[in-house]
Amino acid sequence: MKALIFAAGLGTRLKPLTDTMPKALVPVGGKPLLEHVAGKLIAAGYDELVINIHHFADQIRDYVAAHNNWGVKVEFSDETDLLRETGGGIRHAAPLLDGPDPFLVHNVDILSNLDLTWFRAQHRQEDLATILVSARETQRYFLFDDEMRLVGWTNIATGEVRSPYAGIDPDQCTRLAFSGIHCISPAILPLMRDWPEKFGIVDFYLSICRTHTVRAAVMPGLELHDVGKLSQLDCKVPE
């Protein structure tokens, strides 16, 4: 099974640590973020990992080599020429992700107790993507209909609403926060070919959700930490 780990980010909120190392190698609980995520994926049966790299890319390559690729196949999607954001990162890695089965995408700075086997089982063959969401408080939310299909996005701080459905009422939708973890059908890759090198996955999902199903998955008892700030480095790693 294939998984893409987003590890290319600059980690600006983790400065000054990321002035000398990539975010992926910032330690939490005695281990780099990348080690936590890769270990969780491998334990769940993911034996082909793709890691996208940009900031201090050679440090990530050297770390993985020093750990003998954790005993699985590891390939790198090199973005040292351009940081392509989340949608562009998937598009750029397409040759490494294509195949008959869905692939997982996991942000390197997300630590959780997610049951990855359960999550993969939530993905329906006919759906384009399944995104892990939760009811955590934030300013930006995805909007879902009664069947948990994506229909829009809102920023509650600004009142902005984006949707391919004219006149959508956010109060009539289920409002949930994205986790940075999604299970994606390879059918998504041809749909990205005409997109630019650099774009966000939220923009892409909103552009296609009227014609293709992007569905939410909510795991009861989910514990999730987005390790994006220095103050969050002492968090307890969920098991």
Determine, yes or no, domain membership for 65.
yes
- Asked if residues 214 and 208 have their Cβ atoms less than 8 Å apart, the reply is yes
Determine, yes or no, domain membership for 239.
no
Q: Which of 12-16, 87-91, 104-108, 229-233 is the least confident region?
A: 229-233
Determine the distance from the C-alpha atom of residue 88 to the mean position of all C-alpha atoms in its chain, rounded to a whole number: 12
Determine, yes or no, domain membership for 131.
yes
Determine, yes or no, domain membership for 118.
yes
Determine, yes or no, domain membership for 120.
yes
pLDDT category at 231 given cuts 50, 70, 90 is low
Residues 129-151: pLDDT tens digits? 999 999 888 999 999 999 999 99
Q: Which of 74-88, 131-145, 221-235 is the least confident region?
A: 221-235
β partners of residue 225? 111
Residues 202-222: pLDDT tens digits? 999 999 999 999 999 999 999
What are the φ/ψ torsions at residue 234 (nearest 5 degrees)?
A: -95, 15
Instruction: Identify which of 11, 27, 89, 24 has the alpha carbon closest to the alpha carbon of residue 59.
Output: 24
Domain that residue 58 falls in: 2-221
Determine, yes or no, domain membership for 228.
no
Residues 152-184: pLDDT tens digits? 999 999 999 999 999 899 999 999 999 999 999
The answer to whether the peptide bond before residue 16 is cis (omega within 30 degrees of 0) is: yes
- Asked if residues 170 and 144 have their Cβ atoms less than 8 Å apart, the reply is no
CATH number of domain containing 181: 3.90.550.10
Beta-sheet pairing, 2-6 with 48-53:
parallel
Q: Provide the 10 A C-beta neighbour count for residue 139.
A: 10
Determine, yes or no, domain membership for 230.
no
* Residue 236 confidence (pLDDT) above 90: no
Q: Considering its fold, how many domains does the chain have in total? A: 1
pLDDT category at 21 given cuts 50, 70, 90 is very high
Average pLDDT score over the chain: 94
3-state secondary structure of 225: strand
pLDDT category at 87 given cuts 50, 70, 90 is very high
Determine, yes or no, domain membership for 227.
no
pLDDT of res. 14:
86
Taken in order 175, 176, 180, 184, is the CA torsion positive or negative? negative
Q: What is the pTM of this model?
A: 0.95
